[in-house]
Amino acid sequence: MESHTHADPHAPIEEMPEGPDYFDVLQMAIREILVEKGLIGADEVRAMIETLDAHEPAHGSALVAHAWSDPAFKERLLADGTAAIKEFGIDNYDGTQLIVLEQTTDTHNLVVCTLCSCYPRPVLGLPPDWYKSRPYRARAVREPRALLAEFGTHVPDDVTIRVHDSNANMRYLVLPMRPEGTDGWSEEQLAELVTRDAMIGVTTARKP
């Protein structure tokens, strides 16, 4: 069973776009116009790029490991992701709302941005190329089970797949299920099991 917002035409995930797409060109043009008109400075643009580069999936991995280790924090994270990451010390510099989705034995969550490539950058850093590709954005909503299988994630037929579409104001982060056999592990050890792809929902956490 799959649950999603809308579907796009079929396209294989292997087909990657050549060069920048429409949204890449648009954002570059807008940035250049803003700099030219003096509304923002080149130094501001450079500072934001440095901020983006400084954030990486390790922030999210540590966040997930802490949620696995602290039930009270996990509850706060699921109730209000935006407030919880601030509590954890992550700078939510883009001001968007963060919603955290918990993987369960009954539900598998998958994140996509069908319109462009909205992504929880404060937590995960820069998005991978495949996340921004048209094939991924199309197939995530049209045939998520087949798409996940190509990532090596085989979701049983009795598990519901829910596809969540990010937008300019709202981002999603997947909280993977904690692997069995990790009782007594430190947060540093647990974080090693949490990959970027697991926090998007295309894979699960590594097994110990």
Q: Mind listing the pLDDT tens digit for each residue in 135-170? A: 999 999 999 999 999 999 999 999 999 999 999 899
- What does the alpha-carbon distance between residue 90 and residue 101 come to, in Å, rounded to a whole number? 18
Residues 78 and 162 placed together within one structural domain of the fold:
yes
Please check whether residues 32 and 77 belong to one and the same domain: no
Q: CA separation (Å) from 2 to 14, 65, 163, 176?
A: 22, 28, 8, 18
- Taking a C-beta distance cutoff of 8 angstroms, is the pair 7, 142 a contact? yes
Catalytic residue among 61, 113, 133, 166: 113
Range of the domain at 76: 56-200
Q: What is the DSSP string of 32-75?
A: HHHHHTTSS-HHHHHHHHHHHHH--HHHHHHHHHHHHH-HHHHH
Whether the pLDDT of residue 26 is over 70: the answer is no
Q: Is the pLDDT of residue 74 over 90?
A: yes
In the annotation, is 61 catalytic?
no
Q: Which candidate in 3, 61, 69, 116 is catalytic?
A: 116
121 and 151 part of one domain: yes
Both 83 and 39 in one domain: the answer is no
Mean pLDDT within 4-33:
50
Decide which of 191 and 5 is more confident: 191
> Strands of 160-165's sheet, edge to edge?
2-3, 160-165, 107-112
- Where residue 101 sits, what CATH number does that domain have? 3.90.330.10
The predicted structure's pLDDT at residue 62: 97
Question: What is the end-to-end Cα distance of the chain in Å, rounded?
Answer: 29
The answer to whether residue 206 sits within a structural domain is no
Active-site residue (options: 61, 118, 133, 166): 118
Q: What is the pLDDT of residues 1-16, one digit of tens each?
A: 555 433 333 334 444 4
Q: Are residues 24 and 104 in the same domain?
A: no
- Mark whether 35 and 102 lie in a shared domain: no
Residue 200: how many other CB atoms lie within 10 Å: 27
Q: Are residues 165 and 99 in the same domain?
A: yes
**CA dihedral (133, 137, 142, 146) positive or negative:** positive
Same domain flag for 27 and 109:
no
Summary count for the chain: helices (H), strands (E):
11, 5
- Known catalytic residue at 116: yes
Q: Quick one: DSSP state of residue 128?
A: P
31 versus 99: the higher-pLDDT residue is: 99
DSSP annotation of 168 = S
**5 or 208, which is more confident?**
208
Is 69 annotated as catalytic?
no
Spatial separation of the C-alpha atoms in residues 105 and 160, rounded to whole Å: 9
Query: Is residue 21 over pLDDT 60?
Result: no
Same domain, 114 and 182: yes
Question: pLDDT tens digits, residue range 113-126?
Answer: 999 889 999 999 88
Rounded to an integer, what distance in angstroms lies between the CA atom of residue 84 and that of residue 193? 21
Q: Which sign does the torsion angle of CA 63, 50, 37, 115 carry?
A: negative
Known catalytic membership, residue 113:
yes
From 3, 61, 117, 133, active-site residue: 117
Give the pLDDT confidence score for residue 5 in this predicted structure. 39
Query: Parallel, antiparallel, or unpaired: how do β-strands 107-112 and 160-165 relate?
Result: parallel
Look at the chain and report how many structural domains it folds into: 2
